[in-house]
């Protein structure tokens, strides 16, 4: 069964540093998403992306965040200047049709020191 893959599985970064999280969505999917989950809390929506542009973004997705689809397969989330409160699991998701359920990657654990 096709999967969404994410790298790295764990990223440790100093506060203030830039970090890029990578995702390879399922190959025929057209809609891409990033979510985060702070330890012990619920999964929260960050941003959705379709046709090479952002469709929706949450209040969490401020100017420190950006997304990009640099080629036909990768979908990246960049945090420009990380803060301690950015520590969380970050999940990428994709779907072929936005009415259909989203399929999640196994996440990147981001730890900010």
Partner 1 sequence: RKEVEQDPGPFNVPEGATVAFNCTYSNSASQSFFWYRQDCRKEPKLLMSVYSSGNEDGRFTAQLNRASQYISLLIRDSKLSDSATYLCVVSGAGSYQLTFGKGTKLSVIP
The DSSP code sequence of the chain is ----EEE-SEEEE-TT--EEEEEE--TT--EEEEEEE-TTS--EEEEEEETTEEEEE-TT--TTEEEE--SSS-EEEEESS--GGG-EEEEEEEESSTTSPPEE---EEEEE-
* Per-residue binder mask for partner 1 (CB under 8 A), 26-45, x = binder: -----x-x-x-----xxxxx
The interface mask with partner 1, positions 72-91, x = CB under 8 A, is -----------------x-x
Position 11 contacts partner 1 (CB under 8 A): no
- Which CB atom, from 25 or from 105, has the smaller least distance to partner 1? 105
Q: Which residues of the chain form contacts with partner 1 (CB under 8 A)?
A: 31, 33, 35, 41-45, 48, 55-56, 58, 89, 91, 93, 98-99, 101-107, 109
């Amino acid at each position: 069964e096709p999967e969404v893959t994410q790298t790295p599985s764990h990223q440790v970064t100093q506060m203030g540093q830039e970090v890029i999280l990578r995702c390879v969505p399922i190959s025929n999917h057209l809609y891409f998403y990033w979510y985060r989950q702070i330890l012990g809390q619920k999964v929260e929506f960050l941003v959705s992306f379709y046709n090479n542009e952002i469709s929706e973004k949450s209040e969490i997705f401020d100017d420190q965040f950006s997304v990009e689809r640099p080629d036909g397969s990768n979908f990246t989330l960049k945090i420009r200047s990380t803060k301690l409160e950015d520590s969380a699991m970050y999940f990428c998701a994709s779907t072929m049709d936005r009415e259909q359920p989203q399929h999640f990657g196994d996440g990147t654990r981001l730890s900010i020191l």
